[in-house]
Amino acid sequence: MNHLPLIIKREYLNKVKNKSFIVMTFVSPLIMVALIFVVAYLSQLNNESSKTIAVLDETGMFIDKFESTENTKYEILTGVSLDSAKVNVERAEQYGLLYIPKVNSMDQMADQVTFYSADSPSLLLISKIEDRIGSLATDSRLAEAGMDAEKIRDLRVRVRTNLETFKGEETSKMGSVVKLAFGGIAGYLLFMFIIIYGNMIMRSVIEEKTSRIIEVIISSVKPIQLLLGKIFGTSLAGITQFAVWVVLLGVFLSVGSAMLDIDPAQAQSAQTEMVQQMQDSPEAQSEMVGLLNEINSLPLMNLVIMFILFFLGGYLMYASLYAAIGAAVDNETDTQQFMLPILMPLILAVYVGVFTVIENPHGTVSQVFSFIPLTSPVVMLMRIPFGVPIWQQILSVVILFATFIGTVWVAAKIYRVGILMYGKKASYKELFKWLKY
């Protein structure tokens, strides 16, 4: 008798109707959105408090050259000594004092510019000031040497290498970033999914053991059916939760930003400034177009199909291992010793993905790890956007699914014996023996 649909239905409904599951499903995206808005709000607050910077310029060269902006006001001091300026600035609780001493040469000046402030100043601000003084000083030096700074700027040659594969596909540096982002998100998603819902499966196996219902159930159904029903039912619940999260996140983000009139993208002001700078120059605009082109030129079909295959294969493989652990122990605290060998390859996969694939997506290490089944789902998903030959992808998928069948077989063996063992903490040696029962 095939009871698989019935078991899947129960496992699914039991998870979905669980109160803490419902709370998690609806509250998590709220918390995430709330966090995003808090960060956005705080950084806006940060920007709104404008800084006043006193400038004591003994050279007189830069008097008119610092332009005040909304956030940063420059106040030029004249006819005061450095010491009294320092006292005044501190008393007025201004952000800082920029001191440019009068010296003989530009080189000496460059070493002796000093910024006094109560706390360590923002590095962004300092580098802005350095750039400003530096370029002004350079210009004046060029003028002294009888050269026209404008002209030199015009004459400068900028090289932009066009990247093209042998097949004629154009790529760019921006392209690499896009590819990395796609692969990274896919790999990370899988990683999170395995950990969250793998644990859920394990707990549900343990629950059946501790509530002692297991023997009642398996006198009606084959353990393998129960095992598969559990894996599929929990996975469906997981997919439901994920889908709700994605929808809710989208809704909350758009509603929230409309209501509060805060653009979460402005959370990091530095980033915004970079974007603004980019938009100013025509080159940057072409980069934006390039970005869109890059996304369009990704092998999207390939990506989606492989994402589904690797996601399923990888998740199911790990899920069966989690179920086996659940069967081998009596309570959750005993799971630690068996968790490590599962978590290790997962974490390794993410590290390989982050460090090696960025460096060289087709290097030996990346290649090897994208075939080892315990790491291949994450690593291969990260590699695919960079273009992996189809035969490699297929081979890796085949290895993965073959391993999945193997792990289910092993898990079913351990499960069959383990679920009827009470009060004993199994060792690896015993688990190995169970395979032969």
Binding site for other proteins (CB under 8 A): 1, 3, 6-7, 10, 14, 18, 207-208, 211-213, 215-222, 420, 422, 433, 436-437
Q: Closer to other proteins at the Cβ: 10 or 141?
A: 10
Tokens encoding 40: 């956005």
To the nearest whole angstrom, how small is the minimum distance from the Cβ of residue 238 to other proteins?
19
Write down the H helix ranges in 335-375. Answer: 336-351, 358-359, 364-369
Residue 7, Cβ neighbours under 10 Å: how many?
Answer: 20
Least separation in angstroms between residue 221's CB and other proteins is 6
User: Is the separation of the CB atoms in 228 and 4 below 8 Å?
Assistant: yes
CB of 243 to other proteins, least distance (A): 24
Residue closer to other proteins, measured from CB, 177 or 213: 213
Q: Least distance from C-beta 235 to other proteins, angstroms?
A: 20
- Beta carbon of residue 372, minimum distance to other proteins (angstroms, whole number): 32
The phi and psi torsions of 278 (rounded to 5 degrees) equal -65, -40
Nearer residue to other proteins within complex by CB, 205 or 380 = 205
Give strand pairing partners of 342.
none
Q: How many other CB atoms are there within 10 angstroms of residue 330's CB atom?
A: 17
Give the nearest distance from C-beta 387 to other proteins in angstroms. Answer: 49
Query: Which tokens is 44 given?
Result: 């806006």
The β-bridge relationship of strands 96-100 and 51-57 is parallel
Sign of the dihedral defined by the CA atoms of residues 9, 397, 353, 357, in that order? negative
Q: Are 326 and 205 in contact (CB under 8 A)?
A: yes
Which amino acid is located at 110 in the chain?
A
Task: Compute the Cα dihedral for 356, 359, 361, 365 and give only its sign.
Answer: negative
Pick between residue 160 and residue 212 the one whose CB is nearest to other proteins. 212
Look up residue 99 and give its amino acid: Y
Which of 91/436 has CB closer to other proteins? Answer: 436
* Residue (14 or 272) nearer to other proteins, CB: 14
CB 381 within 8 A of CB 309: no
Q: Which is nearer to other proteins, 201 or 346 (CB)?
A: 201
**21/401 with CB nearer other proteins:** 21
**Widest CA span in the chain:** 98
Compute the least distance from the CB of residue 328 to other proteins, in Å: 16
CB-based contact 351:157 (threshold 8 Å): no
Smallest distance from other proteins to CB 431, Å: 13
